[in-house]
Structure 1
Amino acid sequence: MDIRAYEGPYEGEDAVWLKAGRYEAAMLPGTGGNLIAFRDTQSGYRFLREPGPGGIEAFKQSPGVYGIPVLFPPNRYEDGKLPWNGQVYRLPVNEQATGNHIHGFLYTAAWQVEDFGTGRNESYVTVAVKVDEKHPAYEYFPFKYTVKLRYGLSEAGLSQQVLIRNDGEESMPCLLAFHTAVNAPFARGSAAADYRVKLTVGERWELDDRMLPTGSYQPLSPEEKELRGEGVYPFFAPLDNHYTAVPQNGRNRMELTDTRLGVTLVYDAGTSYKQWMIWNNGAAEGFFCPEPQINLINAPNVELPGEEIGLFSLQPGEYWEETARLYVKEASART
């Protein structure tokens, strides 16, 4: 099996490419440590939304809706306020429509390549970003920390390991999500109507007109019940919804099935992600974002138990890490 890791261009940008048999992937360290491509070259599948030829400037304008962007801290914070341990930190208000801060700093930051290469059965790349007084993000979120990402590619698909370390001398909130942009359809010759998505969601959080949680739940629609059951067309309605995560069979996952081909993309996120966001770009066919998220939207401003909303601390010197995997399974009989 051809297993390689090498530096090379992706649409003119510096990238690290991974190859393992039928699979290939590309990482853009200079723009958010974004894993911008995951493909099955044998079958012609492109699982993640990519900028494509001539689209790199559009990607740079909106890097959160391509590939696998890292959100830290993720989602929205009311008026940009992030209270923690008696202090109120002020994040920049960068969503004018709601008056909130959204999505943090790391999905646009430059990450450093620590290592890339091949092992016995995989190719891999490790990138990291270290935040201290010298980093622009420190002005708004004055904690010292390191975030490290390792992607591996093998016959078992794409593995992801994320690690956060508190490098400072005081506790810090651990807040993270991935705004993963998945193609539907991912196969040539298929249409969006051929696709069904399943997600291990539980309750739907009620959001107000600023897209902030009220602390209450809303009843699930019939289609949302299908979302956590047998699966549903991903664009049945405009979705910008936030849910609790409820693992099934011990796993916290999204499954996207091409019913024409009998092929399923599995996104097996770790069970440390207590929330799911799902956004489908106003129900425009082409891609949607199943987003595993540690914490509830606006969690530091919400008066609910930390365990319920995924709000917890990292003490000085502590680590948090989690793994995820994207892989393909084929039905025993084509539908």
Structure 2
Amino acid sequence: MDIKAYEEQFEGEPAVWLKAGRFEAAVLPGTGGNLIAFRDTENGYRFLREPGEDGIEAFKQSPGVYGIPVLFPPNRYADGKFPWNGQVYQLPINEEATGNHIHGFLHTAVWQVEDFGSSKNESYVTVAIKVDENHPSYEYFPHKYIVKLRYGLSEAGLSQQLLIHNDGDEVMPCLLAFHTAVNAPFAQESAASDYRVKVTIGERWELNERMLPTGNYQPLQPEEIELREEGVNPFFAPMDNHYTAVPQNGRNRMELTDMNLGVTLVYDVGTSYKQWMIWNNGAKEGFFCPEPQVNLVNAPNVDLPGDEIGLFSLKPGEYWEETARFYIKE
């Protein structure tokens, strides 16, 4: 099996490519450490939304809706205000329609390639970002920390290892999500109508007109019960919905099945992700985002127990780690 890791451009951008047999993947360190492509080259499957006819400039304008962007802190915060440890941080308001801050700082930042290479069984790359008082985001989120992302590619698919280290001397909140953009269809010969998605959701959070949780739940619609149980078409209705994550059979995951080909893409995320956000671009066929999220949207502003809403901290010197994997069932 051909296994290698190498530097080569992706649509004119510096990238690290991974190859392992029929699979290949590409990471863009210069734009958020985004894993922009994961493909099965034998079957012509492209599992993640890549910059296509829109080109790389469209990706740079909206890096949150391609590949696997890192959101830190993720999703929306009311008025950009972030109460923490007796202080209130003011994040930039970058969603004018709601008056909120959205999606944090890391998915647009420059990351560094720490290491890449291959072994007998796997090709891999590690990218990292170090935030301190010299980083532009420190002004808004005054913590020193290091985030490392390791991707490995093998016959078992694509593995992801995330590590966050509190590198400062203050307790910091650990809030994170991936705005993973999955193609439906991922096979050229199939249509979006051939696809069924299943996600380990629990309750649906009620969101107000500013897309912020009220603290209450809403009853699931029949299609959302199908989403949790046997699967439903990803575009059955416009979705910008927030759910609790409830593992099934010990796993927290999204399964996307091409009913035409009998092929399932499994996105198995760790059980540290207590929430799912599911967004399907107004039910426009082509791609949707099953987003594993550590914390409830706007969590620091919500008066609910931290363990319930995924609001937890890292003390100075502490690490937090979680893994995920994409693999194929045929």
* Runs of 4+ with deviation above 3 angstroms: none
1:36 Cα offset (Å) = 0.1
Matched, 1:292 2:292: yes
CA distance in structure 1 between the partners assigned to 2:217 and 2:156 by the alignment = 37
Amino acid at match of 2:247: P
Partner residue in 2 for 1:45: 45
Q: Paired residue for 2:188?
A: 188
Aligned to 1:224: 224
Aligned twin of 1:333 = none
The alpha carbon displacement at 1:53 in A equals 5.0
Q: How does 1:114-153 map to 2 (within 5 A)?
A: 114-153=114-153
1:170 Cα deviation after fit: 1.0
Alignment of 1:1-335 (within 5 A): 1-53=1-53, 55-330=55-330
Structure 1 residues not aligned, in runs of 5+: 331-335
Query: In structure 2, what is the Cα distance between the partners aligned to 1:170 and 1:105?
Result: 19
**Contact 1:295–1:311 under 8 Å retained in 2:** yes
Q: Is the 8 A contact 1:11 1:54 kept in 2?
A: no
Q: Any stretches of 5+ residues in structure 2 without a counterpart?
A: none
Task: Give the alignment's Cα RMSD to 1 decimal.
Answer: 0.5
Structure 1 Cα separation of the partners of residues 311 and 15 of structure 2: 34
**Deviation per residue, 1:64-96 (Å, 9 max, x gap):** 000000000000000000000000000000000
1:242-270 per-residue CA deviation (whole Å, 9 max, x = no partner) reads 00000001000000000000000000000
How big is the shift at 1:13? 0.4
Taking the aligned partners of 2:129 and 2:170, their CA distance within structure 1 comes to 19
Which deviations, in whole Å up to 9, do the C-alpha atoms of 1:228-253 show, x marking residues without a partner? 00000000000000000000010000
CA distance, structure 1, for counterparts of residue 62 and residue 31 of structure 2: 11
TM-score of the aligned structures, taking structure 2 as reference length: 1.00
Give the SS at the match of 1:225. helix
- Letter of the 2:232 partner, please give it: V
Distance across 2 between alignment mates of 1:191 and 1:100: 36
Contact 1:11 1:53 in 2 (8 A): no
Aligned residues between the structures: 330
Give the CA deviation at 1:119: 1.4
Q: What is the Cα deviation at residue 52 of structure 1? A: 2.2
Paired with 1:56 and 1:326, the residues of 2 have a C-alpha distance of: 24
CA distance in 2, matches of 1:187, 1:54: 19
Please report how far the alpha carbon of residue 120 of structure 1 lies from its aligned counterpart in structure 2 after TM superposition: 2.0
**What is the CA–CA distance in structure 1 between the aligned matches of 2:119 and 2:203, rounded to whole Å?**
41
Residue 24 of structure 1 and its aligned partner are, at CA, apart by: 0.1
TM-score, normalised on structure 1? 0.98
SS in 1 for 2:9: strand
Inter-partner Cα distance in structure 2 for 1:316 and 1:157: 35
- One-letter identity of the residue aligned with 2:46: R
Q: What's the % identity of the aligned pairs?
A: 84
